Amino acid sequence: MRDQFHEELDRISDRLVEMSRLTGSAISRATTALLDGDLKLAESVIEADEAIDAIRRELDDSAVDLLARQQPVATDLRMVVTAMRMSADLERMGDLARHVAKVARLRYPESAVPAELRATITQMGHAAEKIVAQTGSIIAGKDVQSALSLETADDEMDALHRQVFEHLLGGDWTHGVQAAVDITLVGRYYERFADHAVSVSRRVVYLVTGEWHSSTDLLGVDAGDDD
């Protein structure tokens, strides 16, 4: 049987898994809302973000409370601090899904996505869903191998992001400045969403192995981006 500290930590971990489920649902619905110009769906994503924020607050309160009551050291301390950082990443992923939904809402009843970019944006949405689903499994299973393969999924997202820029800057953009601005921002939101997911999975690897993957950074590293 687990002791009280680890039981409470398990509950915190369950909340992280729940947050990844909710952000996955949010980015999936936001992508559909964006592609279909679906106002209702967009608004449901925007409203649902409050639930993600609430779990984050609750989780962080529990974590601080756990630190105060149980005074963990070494790996146990590191686990609590890292859980709080994961919750920050996941909350931000919820925000980014909400941002995509807000672009959808702004352009309703049109879709913000020109026809020739639908395939790419659809793929970005799928990549985001895949990454966050994997992230949830990684947290639940403390699965280091999956965490490493998630970096490949992030490379896929980066390649799609480059495709978006190639479309925009290829010289035959005919959709005007507003669509260019929308697509620039949306592309950035998906890319940042994936960055934060990778950051979460790196934290899991760090917890399990004590080593920060492919970086000299340790505990204190948030979702970086190299663009």
Write out the residues near its own copies by the rule CB under 8 A: 53, 56-57, 59-61, 64, 67-68, 71, 73-74, 77-78, 81, 84-85, 87-88, 91-92, 95, 99, 102, 165, 168-169, 173, 177-178, 180-181, 184-185, 188, 217-222, 224-225, 227
Question: Taking the complex as a whole, how short is the minimal distance between the CB of residue 76 and its own copies, in angstroms?
Answer: 10
Decide whether 73 or 115 has the Cβ nearer to its own copies.
73
Decide whether 143 or 182 has the Cβ nearer to its own copies.
182
Nearest in space to 33 (alpha carbons), one of 88, 87, 97? 97
In 3-state terms the chain splits into helix, strand, coil percentages (rounded to 5) of: 80, 0, 20
Q: Which two tokens stand for residue 216?
A: 């000299």
Residues 85-120 as b or e (16 or more Cβ within 10 Å = b): bbbbbbbbbbbbbbbbbbbbbebbeebbbbeebeeb
Question: Taking the complex as a whole, how short is the minimal distance between the CB of residue 55 and its own copies, in angstroms?
Answer: 10
Question: Taking the complex as a whole, how short is the minimal distance between the CB of residue 116 and its own copies, in angstroms?
Answer: 14
Decide whether 77 or 119 has the Cβ nearer to its own copies.
77
Cα dihedral 133, 136, 142, 148 in deg (nearest 10)? 40
Alpha helices in 37-143 (DSSP H): 39-70, 74-107, 118-141
Residue type, 109: P
Decide whether 86 or 143 has the Cβ nearer to its own copies.
86
Cis before residue 109, ω within 30 degrees of 0? yes
Decide whether 71 or 145 has the Cβ nearer to its own copies.
71
Question: Taking the complex as a whole, how short is the minimal distance between the CB of residue 109 and its own copies, in angstroms?
Answer: 18
Question: Taking the complex as a whole, how short is the minimal distance between the CB of residue 101 and its own copies, in angstroms?
Answer: 12
